[in-house]
């Protein structure tokens, strides 16, 4: 039996559970479903920057969802870290603060560092380091983001208006790219590129008011609690710390 | 007060009127964004995305035509809010009317509050049926007369004229909200009102426009820590010191303004424990409360979240006393509804005059009523097909699985672009107003 990739099509999982082996369709695995939900949420947050000020309630709810997914992925150890061979650059890949994604142009105009809000869950601060030999982030990676921070905020042009949010995001990523060619790729590695075609996304989201193709994800009714200890808890501490630095006001 | 009264079957809802165009393409500006009866039910106000307010007035019941119970006809139309541009943020401020709230009538004029995302306005709606005539310095057309031609003076007199209804903005309450206003509520003292945005609630005096008191502030010092916003707020109908506000985490806080100037600490905290068997990544989103309303009696509050309506007793904080499923068949579709953003739709809910029945909207232009006494519920539809005068509305049913019966509609056939977010119930009669996109439907119970 094989499992087909999820991409952007979902299958109706409910019927298949009862199906025979012969007639079985592929059901996206829970991890794939969860990943897809995470990707969808991140894109939603990016798209929140429109002509009118984004709906704060919606943004907060989406950000909380992203945080939840990240927490769970951290707990079951599926949270992907960057390649340790890369030049110790911050693993900014996944844990991009919603602040970065969702900064209002006001903050940009004022050149302030006040973020919208961060996805970070301070709960991570409580977790203590695990086996240090398994940690991937190093002291050097902590240093680099400090340099990065100043550079990133400087790059942003306070005069940019809201329509250029995407450009700002690109500027941030440009910076990352200058430091480490791998980071940007990691950022987008598992995301379907068509998400970043704004027109596609907007058309898909705005006009599609019937049921989406999401049926397979509907079986997502409960989160499984895998008991595996995370090897990445200390990594997360570092990451948390790194992003705190990045977004600190 | 009328209510369902006896059994649900005793009340048959009939089509009354529909306002709005039948065009296939809906102009965005015509989408109705709020509906509200005044305290007597004589007036019905709607606000739309284009910033306009339309007020309907019920005509006097005529003895000659007893079957035509007072129809609602247009009484006044005015542009309440205009689109604005915030130059500092480079963002547009929508002119959409988020809420309208009436003040109780104290003289011949009517007063209402209307608000968009940033500014609240007090409007005076008054009638003029007399006109002064006989000015000395102007002639009847308004042109100035040559003073040297005037040989005698006269006293202007008031003469009858065709009724004219004029709306004038009496107060503008601006620059007090950084975030988007979601609620306004008139206090029972009729001297103050509150406006609530995502993070703050302000108390205003009707007479003072250049300052307001901040009574709730949940903005964290560090915005990175923001995880919860205010979604709705309302004053208690009788106790002018008490109000409630709901949050995106499904909680309700009751505050007493007598305890401190800044009501950061609630007097009561209403939250239902989470059901662990239903937990998913969407649990928090669907628990977000989109509307909170006190009962007319002031003893209960009703909240609407994505899938349910709940009634809470003010004396019991740990769980609601009643929970009604609005469209539980959507529970297995939450991911699709998240993808198309429908999961963020904010449905409102209303009480009938006697607090015995509650009503809220759903998709496919369906709306639901729940009788709190008999525990019966009904699903009705606001559609042009059922728009014959006095036609009785047929209950609708959504088929959740298995064989679909002839009159049922399957979940996958529901039209999610047709959402009933705003409804209103006459304060003392069985007359309801239902906003379906750009159309306003008025239904009433069958006249026996």
Q: What is the ipTM of this complex?
A: 0.91
Between A110 and A240, where is the model more confident?
A: A240
pLDDT over 70 at B192, yes or no: yes
- Mutation target to probe the B interface, by most B beta carbons within 10 A, among A111, A200, A206, A212 is A212
Predicted pLDDT of residue B441: 96
Round the average pLDDT of chain B to a whole number and report it: 92
| CA–CA dist B216, B205 (Å, integer) | 16
8 A C-beta contact, residue B318 and residue A193: no
Contact B224 A120 (CB under 8 A): yes
- Mutation target to probe the B interface, by most B beta carbons within 10 A, among A96, A211, A246 is A211
- From A70's Cα to the closest Cα of chain B, the distance in A is 11
Show which of residues 125-154 on chain B sit within 8 Å of chain A, judged by CB atoms. none
Q: Which of A13-17, A239-243, B304-308: highest mean pLDDT?
A: B304-308
pLDDT over 70 at B389, yes or no: yes
Contact B332 A14 (CB under 8 A): yes
How do B349-351 and B322-325 pair as beta strands? unpaired
Least CB–CB distance from B335: residue in A68, A214, A247: A214
Query: What pLDDT band is residue B359 in, cutting at 50, 70 and 90?
Result: very high
What residues does B292 pair with on adjacent strands?
A: B303
Round the average pLDDT of chain A to a whole number and report it: 50
Predicted pLDDT of residue B158: 93
| CA–CA dist A123, B95 (Å, integer) | 40
Contact A56 B179 (CB under 8 A): yes
**pLDDT > 90 in chain A, percent:** 11
This prediction has a pTM of: 0.73
* Strand ranges (E), B288-388: 291-294, 300-304, 308-313, 322-325, 349-351, 357-361, 366-371, 377-381
Chain B contact present for A164, CB below 8 A: no
pLDDT over 60 at B147, yes or no: yes
Query: What pLDDT band is residue A236 in, cutting at 50, 70 and 90?
Result: low
Chain B contact present for A42, CB below 8 A: no
- From A205's Cα to the closest Cα of chain B, the distance in A is 5
Between A217 and B199, where is the model more confident?
A: B199
Least CB–CB distance from A212: residue in B198, B199, B339: B339
Predicted pLDDT of residue B9: 55
Minimum mean pLDDT range among B142-146, B237-241, B437-441 = B142-146
8 A C-beta contact, residue B240 and residue B188: yes
HEC string of B381-407 equals ECCHHHCCCCCECCCCCEECCCCCCCC
Predicted pLDDT of residue B182: 98
Report yes or no on A47 lying in a domain.
yes
Report yes or no on A144 lying in a domain.
no
Report yes or no on A82 lying in a domain.
no
Local structure of B346: helix, strand or coil: coil
Minimum mean pLDDT range among A169-183, B60-74, B246-260, B434-448 = A169-183
Chain A contact present for B345, CB below 8 A: no
Predicted pLDDT of residue A244: 62
Specify burial of residue B315 (Cβ count, 10 A radius: 0-12, 13-18, 19+): exposed
| CA–CA dist B160, B132 (Å, integer) | 9
Q: Which two tokens stand for residue A122?
A: 């301070």
First to last CA, chain B: 18
| CA–CA dist A49, A162 (Å, integer) | 7
Least CB–CB distance from B281: residue in A58, A214, A220: A220
Predicted pLDDT of residue A48: 60
Chain A contact present for B222, CB below 8 A: yes
Chain B contact present for A78, CB below 8 A: no
pLDDT over 50 at B181, yes or no: yes
Secondary element (H or E) of residue A136: none
Predicted pLDDT of residue B331: 95
Predicted pLDDT of residue A27: 62
Predicted pLDDT of residue A82: 35
Report yes or no on A51 lying in a domain.
yes
Predicted pLDDT of residue A79: 72
8 A C-beta contact, residue A233 and residue A82: no
Domain count, chain A: 1
| CA–CA dist B334, B117 (Å, integer) | 28
| CA–CA dist B114, B53 (Å, integer) | 8
Least CB–CB distance from A57: residue in B229, B280, B339: B229
Query: What pLDDT band is residue A50 in, cutting at 50, 70 and 90?
Result: low
| CA–CA dist B292, B314 (Å, integer) | 13
Minimum mean pLDDT range among A192-196, A233-237, B100-104, B299-303 = A192-196
Q: Which of A6-10, A118-122, B129-133, B141-145: highest mean pLDDT?
A: B129-133
Report yes or no on A141 lying in a domain.
no
Chain B contact present for A112, CB below 8 A: no
**pLDDT > 70 in chain A, percent:** 18
Least CB–CB distance from B198: residue in A57, A106, A222: A57
Predicted pLDDT of residue A78: 72
8 A C-beta contact, residue A71 and residue A126: no
8 A C-beta contact, residue B310 and residue B272: yes
Report yes or no on A234 lying in a domain.
no
Give A-chain residues touching B223 at CB under 8 angstroms. 99, 114-117, 249
Report yes or no on A157 lying in a domain.
no
Contact A161 B90 (CB under 8 A): yes
Specify burial of residue A148 (Cβ count, 10 A radius: 0-12, 13-18, 19+): buried
pLDDT over 60 at A155, yes or no: no
Dihedral sign from CA coordinates of B142, B146, B149, B152 = positive
> Which residues contact residue B105 at a Cβ distance below 8 angstroms, ignoring those fewer than 6 apart?
B38, B39, B40, B111
Residue of A nearest to B228 (CA): A60
Give A-chain residues touching B227 at CB under 8 angstroms. 60, 63-64, 117
Q: Which two tokens stand for residue B264?
A: 């950061």
Nearest to A27 by CA among A43, A5, A42: A5
Mean pLDDT value across residues B432-440 = 96
If you count residue pairs, one on A and one on B, with CB atoms under 8 Å apart, how many are there? 142
Cα dihedral B305/B308/B314/B319 (nearest 10)? -100
- Domain containing residue A49: 27-68
**pLDDT tens-digit series, residues B48-76:** 999 999 999 999 877 776 666 789 999 99
Minimum mean pLDDT range among A69-73, B19-23, B413-417 = B19-23
Predicted pLDDT of residue A227: 37
Residue of A nearest to B416 (CA): A209
Contact A60 B228 (CB under 8 A): yes
| CA–CA dist B371, B379 (Å, integer) | 12
8 A C-beta contact, residue B415 and residue B363: yes
- From A63's Cα to the closest Cα of chain B, the distance in A is 8
Give A-chain residues touching B417 at CB under 8 angstroms. 209
First to last CA, chain A: 51
What residues does B202 pair with on adjacent strands?
A: B195, B214
pLDDT over 80 at A191, yes or no: no
Chain A contact present for B25, CB below 8 A: no
> Which residues contact residue B434 at a Cβ distance below 8 angstroms, ignoring those fewer than 6 apart?
B35, B361, B367, B382, B420, B422, B423, B440, B441, B442, B443
Give B-chain residues touching A211 at CB under 8 angstroms. 333, 336, 412, 416
Dihedral sign from CA coordinates of B304, B306, B310, B314 = negative
Query: What pLDDT band is residue B352 in, cutting at 50, 70 and 90?
Result: very high
8 A C-beta contact, residue B184 and residue B115: yes
Report yes or no on A45 lying in a domain.
yes
Q: Which two tokens stand for residue B103?
A: 């003040």
Mean pLDDT value across residues B317-336 = 96
Mean pLDDT value across residues B211-219 = 96
Specify burial of residue A23 (Cβ count, 10 A radius: 0-12, 13-18, 19+): exposed
Give B-chain residues touching A209 at CB under 8 angstroms. 340, 342, 415-417
Q: Which two tokens stand for residue B196?
A: 């609530």
**pLDDT tens-digit series, residues B5-38:** 444 456 889 988 999 888 777 789 999 999 999 9
Chain B contact present for A225, CB below 8 A: no
8 A C-beta contact, residue B345 and residue B291: no
Q: What is the 8-class DSSP label of residue B395? A: P
Predicted pLDDT of residue B91: 83
Show which of residues 372-431 on chain B sit within 8 Å of chain A, judged by CB atoms. 412, 415-417
| CA–CA dist A50, A163 (Å, integer) | 7
- Mutation target to probe the B interface, by most B beta carbons within 10 A, among A35, A53, A69, A163 is A53
Nearest to B346 by CA among A61, A63, A220, A206: A61
Give A-chain residues touching B248 at CB under 8 angstroms. 57, 60-61
| CA–CA dist A144, A209 (Å, integer) | 45
Predicted pLDDT of residue A247: 60
Contact A61 B338 (CB under 8 A): no
Predicted pLDDT of residue B357: 97
Give B-chain residues touching A34 at CB under 8 angstroms. 281
Give B-chain residues touching A212 at CB under 8 angstroms. 335-336, 339-340
């Amino acid at each position: 039996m094989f499992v087909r990739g999820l991409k952007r099509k979902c299958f109706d999982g409910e019927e298949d559970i009862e199906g025979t082996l012969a007639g079985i369709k592929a059901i996206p695995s829970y991890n794939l479903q969860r990943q897809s939900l995470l990707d969808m949420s991140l894109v939603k947050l990016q798209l929140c920057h429109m002509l009118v000020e984004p709906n704060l309630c919606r943004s907060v709810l989406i950000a909380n969802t992203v945080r939840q997914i990240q927490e769970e992925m951290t707990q079951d150890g599926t949270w992907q870290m960057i390649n340790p061979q890369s030049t110790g650059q911050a693993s900014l890949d996944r844990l991009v603060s919603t602040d970065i994604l969702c900064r209002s142009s006001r903050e940009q105009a004022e050149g302030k560092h006040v973020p919208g809000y961060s996805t970070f869950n301070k709960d991570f601060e409580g977790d203590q380091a695990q086996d240090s030999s398994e940690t991937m982030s190093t002291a050097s990676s902590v240093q680099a983001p400090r340099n990065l921070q100043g550079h990133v905020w400087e790059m942003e042009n306070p005069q940019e208006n809201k329509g250029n949010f995407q450009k700002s995001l690109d500027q941030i990523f440009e910076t990352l790219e200058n430091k480490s060619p791998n980071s940007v790729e990691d950022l987008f590695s598992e995301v379907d590129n068509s998400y970043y075609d704004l027109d596609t996304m907007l058309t898909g989201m705005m006009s599609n008011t019937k049921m989406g193709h999401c049926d397979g994800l509907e079986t997502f009714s409960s989160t499984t609690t895998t008991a595996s200890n995370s090897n990445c808890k200390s990594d997360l501490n570092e990451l948390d710390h790194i992003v705190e630095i990045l977004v600190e006001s | 007060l009328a209510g369902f009264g006896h059994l649900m079957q005793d009340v048959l809802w009939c089509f009354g009127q529909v306002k709005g165009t039948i065009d296939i393409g809906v102009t965005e500006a015509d989408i109705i964004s709020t509906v509200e009866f005044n305290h007597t039910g004589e007036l019905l106000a709607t606000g739309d995305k284009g910033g306009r307010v339309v007020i309907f007035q019920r005509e006097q019941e005529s003895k000659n035509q007893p079957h035509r119970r007072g129809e609602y006809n247009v009484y006044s139309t005015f542009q309440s809010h205009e689109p604005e541009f915030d130059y500092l943020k480079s963002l547009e401020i929508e002119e959409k009317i988020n809420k309208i709230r009436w003040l109780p009538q104290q003289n011949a004029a009517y007063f209402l509050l209307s608000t968009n995302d940033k500014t609240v306005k007090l409007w005076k709606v008054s009638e003029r049926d007399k006109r002064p005539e006989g000015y000395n310095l102007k002639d009847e057309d308004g042109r100035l007369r040559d003073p040297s031609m005037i040989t005698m003076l006269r006293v202007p007199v008031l003469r009858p004229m065709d009724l004219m209804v004029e709306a004038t903005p009496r107060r503008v309450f601006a620059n007090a909200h950084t975030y988007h206003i979601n609620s306004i509520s008139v206090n029972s003292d009729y001297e103050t009102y509150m406006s609530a945005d995502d993070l703050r609630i302000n108390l205003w005096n009707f007479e003072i426009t250049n300052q307001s008191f901040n009574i709730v502030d949940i903005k964290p010092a560090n915005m990175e820590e923001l995880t919860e916003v205010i979604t709705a707020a309302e004053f208690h109908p009788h106790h002018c010191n008490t109000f409630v506000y709901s949050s995106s985490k499904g909680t309700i806080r009751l505050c007493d303004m007598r305890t401190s100037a800044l009501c950061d600490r609630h007097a009561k905290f209403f939250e239902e424990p989470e059901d662990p068997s239903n937990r998913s990544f969407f649990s928090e989103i669907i628990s977000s409360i989109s509307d909170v309303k006190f009962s007319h009696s002031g003893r209960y509050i009703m909240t609407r979240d994505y899938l349910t309506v709940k009634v809470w007793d003010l004396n019991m904080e740990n769980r609601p006393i009643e929970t009604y499923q609005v469209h539980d068949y959507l529970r297995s579709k939450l991911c699709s509804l998240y993808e198309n953003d429908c999961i963020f739709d904010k449905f409102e809910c209303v009480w009938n005059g006697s607090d015995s029945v509650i009503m809220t909207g759903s998709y496919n232009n369906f709306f639901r009523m729940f009788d709190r006494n008999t525990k019966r519920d009904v699903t009705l539809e606001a559609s042009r097909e059922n728009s014959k005068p006095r036609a009785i509305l047929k209950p609708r049913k959504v088929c959740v699985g298995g064989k679909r019966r002839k009159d049922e509609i399957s979940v996958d056939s529901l039209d999610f672009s047709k959402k009933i977010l705003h409804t209103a119930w006459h304060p003392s009669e069985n007359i309801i107003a239902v906003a379906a996109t750009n159309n306003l439907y008025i239904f009433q119970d069958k006249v026996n």
